[in-house]
Amino acid sequence: MNIPMAKAKAQLSELVKRAQAGEKIHLTKHGEVVATLSAPVRPGGSKGLFGALKGQIWIADDFDELGPEWDEYTK
């Protein structure tokens, strides 16, 4: 979608919502595209930060068990 800068100033909030929804919005000045509004590209595809490494991290079963060298500190 192309929209003149003058019009974009009055509709910025609506244009940002549309960009977040995946639409690319080209801002024009005198008919020439000068900028583009679009949603940010996230590394690793469309996953958000939470859960992005699911299945890629392994924690040992004995992770939270202390060895005998800690006995004198835990008495």
The end-to-end CA distance of the chain, in Å, is 69
Q: What is the pLDDT of residue 14?
A: 94
- Phi and psi (nearest 5°) for 32? -105, 135
Q: Is the pLDDT of residue 53 over 90?
A: no
Distance CA 37, CA 28 (A): 11
pTM above 0.85, yes or no: no
Q: Which sequence spans correspond to the domains of the chain?
A: 1-39
The span from the CA of 5 to the CA of 12, in Å, is 10
Instruction: Identify which has the larger pLDDT, 51 or 59.
Output: 59
Confidence check: pLDDT of 46 > 60:
no
Q: Which CATH number fits domain 1-39: 1.10.3720.10, 3.90.1150.10, 3.60.20.10, 3.40.1620.10?
A: 3.40.1620.10
pLDDT over 90 at 51, yes or no? no
